[in-house]
Chain A
Amino acid sequence: MAEIRNYTMNFGPQHPAAHGVLRLVLELDGEVVQRADPHIGLLHRATEKLAETRTWVQSVPYMDRLDYVSMMCNEHAYCMAIEKLLQIDVPERAQYIRVMFDEITRILNHLLWLGAHALDVGAMTVFLYAFREREDLMDAYEAVSGARMHAAYYRPGGVYRDLPDSMPQYQANKFKNADAIKRLNENRSGSMLDFLEDFTNRFPRYVDEYETLLTDNRIWKQRLVDIGIVTPERAKALGFTGPMLRGSGIAWDLRKKQPYEVYDRMDFDIPVGTNGDSYDRYLVRIEEMRQSNRIVRQCIDWLRKNPGPVISPNHKVAPPSREAMKGNMEELIHHFKLFTEGIHVPEGECYAAVEHPKGEFGIYAMSDGANKPYRLKIRAPGFAHLAAMDEMSRGHMISDVVAIIGTMDIVFGEIDR
């Protein structure tokens, strides 16, 4: 009698390769996956419902907590939706700052993805390397907003404050002597833009390091090539966006096709895969990091030459400066009304989308004229990608499920919302 080899296996929600709280019910025939049923919602915080009870500005920090590895991109889509409803313009300098931080965020996101993906597949070193670079970019986040992750830096009408003229310095302590501290502080002596420029000079070499470790690595290729193939037609039908769509060979990028902010003035290329497998998606994301680096450099150049306001002068939307608020009655009233009652967004609805590191991140906002949204729908790219888990993993081995979860770049903050 043949041995019965059908199993139903529970994967997660406390599995280190589940990237958070994914519960996956796998139906197996031996080691081959017959059906994968993801159970999500373990991190569901009802952000959209909470937003209905908060003023428009109060929800900005909630956006950070959606996709908690690409914080500012989430804020960007949300602020763009409000600005579209209000029909207000963002100062040019703020647009450049937003583009620069979007690309920094993209590098941050892809570094975490690369490290975690490699760790899942069995390469330990890349994770440590990736986190070394993330540290520098986190410092840039901190310098500009005061928070390493949940920045709440983008506001409707611009960004909250201009770029700082100095970077925080390391202080001597009992673990490091003055010489070591001096070396650490070398690239922090100038402004934040100097610090970032130094980073962009170093970064392409770091990407080469990751590629040396992975791109031609035999084990890496054995684990990724021909795993989770998605044809261009299926990728479109399944609602894929971002690197998942480009990995299947469709040159679609909102930064090029439906440019927002100042992306139309930027010079960068869109990498596209050919086979639609996990390895192609890896190559696409690696190249995206290099292209993001290019965009950051262009933004630094422009920002150096062009000082100016960074937030809208319309005090119905953006708060007045502290000095003006303390010296002028009208500004005081504006400040008070803005922080107690909030922005009044005219009645209407709009959909604003950005090219988030993971795909198209959209905000569908509906206002009935009040100081709070009537309905807010967050379109998270990972949601559509994870929905295709069943189709992508069918016929693969259990160990490939981990590689497929890795290649999707899943973060539960945005999927569960």
Chain B
Amino acid sequence: MSTRIESLRDALTAQFGDKIRTASVELGELTIEVGADDYHDIALALRDHADTPFEQLIDLCGLDLSTHATRSSGARYAVVVHLMSIAANLRLRLRAFVSDEDFPVIASVNDVWPAANWFEREAFDLFGIMFAGHGDLRRLLTDYGFVGHPFRKDFPISGHVEMRYDPETKRVIYQPVTIAPREVTPRVVREENYGDVGHG
């Protein structure tokens, strides 16, 4: 299995050359990283690939790398696509970085795989990544009239507004959240081999 993955990596690196920024096999999974400009072309080429046609888009999701400890690329947002080739029984992870932090735009792959439709709407809704050429980029999961993109790292877990029934005006109103933020278990990154015998 892993050798097949490695030969796929070599074949793809040979085919696309400089367009692929990195291609790595880790934990038996192949990840290729591309720039936002080449993303759509490579997606199309992968779908119509002669030996390993990636005919299925399994998953597409947004990433916000702003608080990642070891951020490899300068870009804050990325789009991660998981592809599957039913013919060759192989999986592939395609990642494209979106450079502009204030207005992240990337090409839509909705025309390549129709399955991308809702996944891109979700990524737009939760991360605010714009997919150029999508055609129907509406919010999907959040409430009608929701403000903000909740899965960005700078969006608090409790949100900004809460909803309640107001007996005076006799309707449901929004007001700033009254929950105080708290962290029960702190987030810690330990050094390697932490807690092993002879390590304190």
Contacts of B86-100 to chain A: CB distance below 8 A: 86, 89, 91, 93
C-beta contact mask, A347-375 vs B, less than 8 Å → 1, else 0? 11111010000001010101011111011
Which one, A95-103, A201-209, A379-387, is touching chain B?
A379-387
Q: What is the CB-to-nearest-CB distance from B182 to chain A, in angstroms, rounded to a whole number?
A: 10
Q: What is the CB-to-nearest-CB distance from A369 to chain B, in angstroms, rounded to a whole number?
A: 5
A255 CB–B CB distance under 8 Å? no
With A50-B157, A85-B27, A351-B29 already in contact, the answer to whether A344 and B194 are too (CB < 8 A) is yes
Which one, A41-49, A138-146, A285-293, is touching chain B?
A41-49
Contacts of A28-56 to chain B: CB distance below 8 A: 40-41, 44, 46, 48-50, 53-55
Q: How far is the CA of A248 from the CA of B26 in the complex (A)?
A: 34
Q: What is the CB-to-nearest-CB distance from A330 to chain B, in angstroms, rounded to a whole number?
A: 9
Query: Contact: A370 with B189, CB < 8 Å?
Result: yes
Which of A49, A349, A391 has a CB less than 8 Å from the CB of B151? Answer: A49
**Chain B residue total in the interface (Cβ 8 A):** 43
Contacts of B63 in A (CB 8 A): 366, 375
With A370-B187, A387-B117 already in contact, the answer to whether A351 and B194 are too (CB < 8 A) is no
A238 CB–B CB distance under 8 Å? yes
A171 CB–B CB distance under 8 Å? no
Which one, B11-19, B38-46, B51-59, is touching chain A?
B51-59
With A337-B195, A350-B27 already in contact, the answer to whether A360 and B58 are too (CB < 8 A) is yes
**Chain A residue total in the interface (Cβ 8 A):** 55
Q: How far is the CA of A332 from the CA of B88 in the complex (A)?
A: 49
Query: Contact: B89 with A258, CB < 8 Å?
Result: yes
Query: Contact: A364 with B114, CB < 8 Å?
Result: no
Binding site for B on A (CB under 8 A): 40-41, 44, 46, 48-50, 53-55, 58, 84-85, 87, 236-239, 241, 250, 252, 257-258, 316, 337, 340-342, 344, 347-351, 353, 360, 362, 364, 366, 368-372, 374-375, 377, 379, 383-384, 386-387, 391, 416-417
Report 8 cross-chain contacts, Cβ distance below 8 Å, ordered by A residue. A44-B142, A54-B185, A237-B114, A238-B114, A316-B195, A349-B31, A362-B82, A379-B58
Closest 6 CB pairs of A and B: A239-B115, A41-B141, A387-B118, A379-B59, A377-B61, A368-B69
